[in-house]
Structure 1
């Protein structure tokens, strides 16, 4: 039987793996426990039908917007090969008046229109300028001058096209958020930090590239389901049908509702925040095609936002073979349809056949003849899709952020209410440092000491 690790990490998504990596660099023995049969969490890539099928739609803004992620990419040498993290051409478009309007989210879009009228473009520029000057911190959204205003409140004073053709579809399509219910502060901070869509990148070898690179360096047990976590004076016990694991500390890198269920005796400030962190489910349909096709107007573009007044069930169409040529074999196509919040609510628990029938029929309007091109279909469901930042969660986060370090810590994009890989990676560094603080305050009987990694990669 192997010796008890210094730290047990529950969850082999990017957050858990990045936390484990940082702890291992500090000299800790770490074991990662993952309930599913593969690493990556919501950032998995299926290798099927000759394609790389990303289960989500992760893209990487520049290092200015995603500093923690790019530091980790460079530390692991993932950018050492030319083209390993390429730019996505035509990253974002908006559907309007029968076709996709390219250059959304880019300075060029302010000139070409991107589906917005001249007055709406001026209002968009005014909004972006205001956000850029607001001093928004994506890692501390509860400190935002926007307070607990909702996304709908944020855009109420701007042109209706900015609200209905851009901001609402962005919030719904990429975050799964309801603009009337979700807090503006995290969304606005993410928007301001991410910058122009003209500088968005992807991983050449699939969106699970970062997770796989981390897992290769760590002790990871897949198929290991943790059912309860208990903290005591002698450390942390993690119950499991595969056998109880004990460790000096633990990191719960799982969705907040799952963490709340696992760690029933969490201190009040933690418990309140965990319970306040709701999640938006996500539903995505990936279609392997016999040849490349795309929505009208974006033959080479990637993602098209579909406003709610254009379709109630479809929110985003991604042309994955345009994301990178390696996503599909030459001469074939790969396209995904992301359901809107309403479509997800209607279809999340429906049989696959109904999901395919409903979403494919809707997508025909945007990609005529699509059904005739389909060879294989993959349905991706995430009940805990993306953390939803409600005003209640923002209010509860202040006490959560002030809590002292403890034997049980947390990692995940919900920690800062920032639904993206940057939120996951930055939370991992924070969780690892808090664990190291705890271990330093309660040194092992062996006298071993741990220190935070210090290098040019320090966040």
Structure 2
């Protein structure tokens, strides 16, 4: 026999970062909330596999310290961010060149320290304070990056580099509204119309944007590409300390006990009812779908399902790490399947046991037939060292990793379908963690407006006993 119907003001379907951040905003406003997740853990695509003391991200999207929602989302005060070195390393013609460092992303970032693999100890709360400082600091025009002695950087001449530096400085300080008002084109076409030399575009902007957008062909809307460049130029690329799963787990742990229920499969939704396979109906005043786009469309036929970018992440380990420090390494020549790679244990030592290095590499688009062999051969060229003795820890292929954002792309897709029924996620905004968090922010604002003052919220009946995250 099913238990009787249970009540909450808002039922959220999905315990990814969008659903969990929405739950924080609602509970903070006095709205009783239940989060239902079909899987046996929270996080969705932000998952981390544990193998012999290693922490291996399944997708490993790059974050930026300039993401506003990392500062604005309740529950993330304890988030630790581990930054890459300023800018990126570009591999071109057998040499590596540092590029893209700006005054904003050169400043000391949370958890960073100079001197190779050395690390300073920092508090989790101090990390968010540093993020706020990076985002609010003035951004003077950067100095041109010096050419490496004995080689030519893949950015063109020193004058070309100065023009690129000035362009990055301008976009770092440009209001978002101004970027969104620009004519919208596919990113590849827009770059060609910006007046930068072809060498600078092909040698730096193309590989950088491919890594930031998970889009090797740059079919993404130029407005989304501009937002990605703005975050890159105005902050520091980073990863969550301890793995991608730390971000959703932190949100889940800081919610009131009993808010999140895992292992609960939702079969149908309406404006005031959620039906589950395990516990019958949940009666509520509003429903928020915070699943991925395909799962949302299965519950609400007619919702748009976008195309997706495929992502394959390959994790290797060795006891003799390459000497690239904490840099993110890109292939400007596109000479193999790897779009970007890093010695991730140098960036975040908690991801590998002592004495071992974790090298994480990302392949965009359909992977080659023997992906590990192809990746090893490419990494040998990128790092300038033999990879034959490296041990493969995992190969994670995700066919629907990141929703595409082809032009024209609506960055503010409606989150309010009708009174009582709402939807959020990276498929309603930009296909980033920032987009997922921002869409949740918009959805909860709409819910609170429709439900009225928090003081009118009722006291919910107890929810059924399910596994809590």
Both structures adopt the same fold (TM-score exceeding 0.5): yes
TM-score, scaled to structure 2: 0.77
Which whole-Å CA distance do the structure 2 matches of 1:390 and 1:10 have between them?
A: 27
1:20 is aligned to 23
Which whole-Å CA distance do the structure 1 matches of 2:49 and 2:312 have between them?
A: 16
Q: 1:36 to 1:447 in 2, by over 3 A?
A: closer
Query: Gapped runs of 5+ residues in structure 2?
Result: 104-141, 148-152, 461-469
Please state if 1:112 is matched with 2:146.
yes
Please state if 1:301 is matched with 2:329.
no
Match 1:285 to one of 298, 314, 320: 314
- After TM superposition, list the pairs within 5 Å mapping 1:369-384 onto structure 2: 369-384=385-400
1:153 is aligned to 189
Which whole-Å CA distance do the structure 2 matches of 1:77 and 1:330 have between them?
A: 28
Which whole-Å CA distance do the structure 2 matches of 1:168 and 1:222 have between them?
A: 40
Which whole-Å CA distance do the structure 2 matches of 1:104 and 1:370 have between them?
A: 28
- 1:201 positional shift: 4.1
- 1:60 positional shift: 4.3
Match 1:225 to one of 229, 252, 265: 265
2:78 is aligned to 78
Q: 1:187 to 1:61 in 2, by over 3 A?
A: same
- 1:101 positional shift: 1.8
1:454 is aligned to none
SS in 1 for 2:388: helix
User: Which deviates further from its counterpart, 372-381 or 206-215?
Assistant: 372-381
Please state if 1:414 is matched with 2:405.
no
Query: Gapped runs of 5+ residues in structure 1?
Result: 266-270, 451-459
- 1:304 positional shift: 0.7
Q: 1:91 to 1:246 in 2, by over 3 A?
A: farther
SS in 1 for 2:403: strand
| CA distances 1:29-73 after superposition (whole Å, capped 9, x unpaired) | 2222223332222222222221222333345433xx222212337
CA contact (8 A) 1:128 1:192 kept: yes
| CA distances 1:255-281 after superposition (whole Å, capped 9, x unpaired) | 22332232115xxxxx4xx34x43212
SS in 2 for 1:373: coil
Which whole-Å CA distance do the structure 1 matches of 2:275 and 2:143 have between them?
A: 51
Which whole-Å CA distance do the structure 2 matches of 1:155 and 1:25 have between them?
A: 43
- 1:159 positional shift: 0.9
Q: 1:384 to 1:228 in 2, by over 3 A?
A: farther
Which whole-Å CA distance do the structure 2 matches of 1:241 and 1:449 have between them?
A: 24
| CA distances 1:171-215 after superposition (whole Å, capped 9, x unpaired) | 222322255522100110232144355x34443332322211111
1:250 is aligned to 287
Please state if 1:432 is matched with 2:436.
no
CA contact (8 A) 1:279 1:385 kept: yes
Match 1:336 to one of 347, 351, 360: 360
1:169 is aligned to 207
Please state if 1:203 is matched with 2:215.
no
Structure number having the greater helix percentage: 1
| CA distances 1:120-152 after superposition (whole Å, capped 9, x unpaired) | 3133234335535753349xx7xx222321211
TM-score, scaled to structure 1: 0.78
SS in 1 for 2:90: strand
Which whole-Å CA distance do the structure 2 matches of 1:86 and 1:186 have between them?
A: 24
